[in-house]
Copies of this chain bind each other. A is one copy, B any other.
Amino acid sequence: MKIAIAQINPTVGNLTGNSNLILEAAQKAASAGANLLITPELCLLGYPPRDLLSVPSFIAAAGEKLHQLAQDLPPDLATIVGTATPNTNAVKQGGKALFNSGVLLEGGKVKQIFHKRLLPTYDVFDEDRYFEPGETSGYFNIGELKIGVTICEDLWNNEEFWGKRSYAGDPIADLVKLGVDLVVNLSASPYCASKRQVRSAMLQNSAQRCALPIVYANQVGGNDDIIFDGSSFAINRNAQLIRVLASFKTDFAIVKYDETKGDLMGDSLHNESAIQDAPLSFDPPEGDAEIWEALVLGVQDYVRKCGFYRVVLGLSGGIDSALVAAIASCAIGPQNVLGVLMPSPYSSDHSVNDALELAKNLGIAIEMLPIGDLMKGFDRALADLFIDTTFGIAEENLQSRIRGNLLMAISNKFGHLLLSTGNKSEMAVGYCTLYGDMNGGLSVISDVPKTRVYSLCNWLNSGGSALKLPANGEIIPRNIISKAPSAELKPGQIDQDSLPPYDILDDILRRLIEEHESIAQIVAAGHDEAVVKRTVQLVMRAEFKRRQAAPGLKISDRAFGTGWRMPIAKAAFY
């Protein structure tokens, strides 16, 4: 038996487009003689549909589209489609109005429906907001074969792997009791750095314990702040990865189930000995390459799915905007990227030269709009009101906001999407200007700590990306990497006047934000107490800025975005 995996890139709300992606994969599967096609979780709707799930006419339209799809699919191909289905018992028995379902379509009809049982509510997930959990796990037959169906989180309650239970129920254990031969999983598992390895290791553990092969179909693509990496795979009953699909790309694969051996095999592209000898791995490798591809996909899909074709961003001559310009160039082509230089009297000459060199290296167009006169204009407008006050945050922020206005004027005039270039370290401590450099439709690196920004730029210069290295061998001019980071909002200013060195700051922030460590724990790890306390205070105070930030591409376990829900008006409890 042949099982096809459709690693597709749906768009939220685009029922017709998503349905067509499923149809295309189905036609490919049928041509290759596959018996079964697995699609990602909720892929008919696009994940995450969020409050579109509360719109009755959307749910009704999705129901109609599903039945149309059943009729349009190749009749002999069993296809499991991820979508939301109504919980008709909700009114009488209580519970949410919908299920998160895998619907088995075959012969023009809905044959069977399976409901997701474990509904995540942590991080970016709100599934209890919309869905009633399924009560039992089930399977369907293809010939003699019993195929158990699970949806994403259903396979994540692996007590042995995590050292703790997250839910009372355990669908895979129930499927073992039902005597299934194979488990398929429809997923929309968001990307974060190294998540691919965690997923496969966890499911290899499950496959081993349960002696069950697993076919895992994940969504790919960017949707607002959340990136799905794809990286679907198949594991045999000996817990070997026998097939790994591309990361950060639409992909399609077929695996074979050998009824005699009672196990999954690689497809024709991989012979068995190759599987045994060289364990498969994900491409690109972990680290900078992986994060780079994630960010490129995130920009590409946000631009495309929002209906834009070109982007604009401010080029300060600093490393953050340099990295974002490079990502954008790779995502939508340098010909679609406009860099705007907006030097002030506090800008150093090298800032302008560095930015110009970067633009040349990338092949992007630039505009130069000096802001000195506008600064004077605001000074004059505010002169009476600000009399006898000293230059400070108000004047520094004004420069950033003048730039923000110019960029938005260009965005509005020419229809370019404005990209915001702040990094995670800045967003954490509020070292950024609301309505200034925070302006933009998408915040490209707001989940990338400053230390990782450096590492990505060095990796770029080593030729790691698809971007063509210029003759001098450097995409990001060396001076941009080597100079002391500065907002250049007053003479001689550098970031380290206000902040601890970034390697220290980033370690404190990681412990605080991702590891939930207390001040005492962070100090115990070797950090200066005063620095830690000051950092925690800055993070707490900057919540009002983050609340109004553009969506930022999530690449970490805990990004400031959908999965970060902190009150603004609060007292420090530290």
Contacts and interface: CB of A to CB of B under 8 A. Distances in A.
Contacts of A398: 405, 409
Contact of A378 (B15, B393, B405): B405
A394 B412 contact: yes
A157 interface: yes
Contact of A569 (B157, B165, B224): B224
A570 B435 contact: no
A279 interface: no
Contacts of A572: 13
A504 interface: no
Contact of A369 (B12, B15, B381): B381
Interface stretch (A173-181, A207-215, A382-390): A382-390
A363 to B, nearest CB: 20
A301 interface: yes
Q: How large is the interface on A (under 10, 10 to 19, 20 to 34, 35 or more residues)?
A: 35 or more
A280 interface: no
A404 interface: yes
Contacts of A278: none
Contacts of A410: 382, 385, 394
Interface in A45-78: 46, 48-52, 54-58, 61
B518 A56 contact: yes
Interface stretch (A92-100, A237-245, A460-468): A92-100
A519 B57 contact: yes
Interface string A136-160: 0000000000000000000001000
A223 interface: yes
Interface in A193-227: 222-224
Interface in A405-439: 405-406, 408-410, 412-413, 434-435, 439
Given A224-B567, A569-B306, A166 B94 contact: yes
A550 B551 contact: no
30 contacts: A14-B570, A15-B573, A49-B567, A50-B565, A51-B564, A51-B566, A56-B518, A57-B573, A94-B157, A121-B128, A222-B569, A224-B568, A370-B381, A378-B405, A378-B409, A382-B413, A386-B413, A392-B413, A398-B409, A401-B405, A401-B408, A401-B409, A401-B435, A402-B405, A404-B435, A408-B434, A408-B435, A441-B544, A547-B550, A551-B568
Given A93-B168, A397-B408, A435-B435, 9 more contacts: A12-B569, A50-B566, A51-B565, A129-B565, A302-B569, A386-B409, A397-B409, A398-B409, A401-B405
Interface of A: 11-15, 17, 46, 48-52, 54-58, 61, 90-95, 121-122, 126, 128-129, 157, 164-169, 222-224, 301-302, 305-306, 367, 369-371, 373-374, 377-378, 380-382, 385-386, 389, 392-395, 397-398, 401-402, 404-406, 408-410, 412-413, 434-435, 439, 441, 516, 518-520, 544, 547-551, 564-574
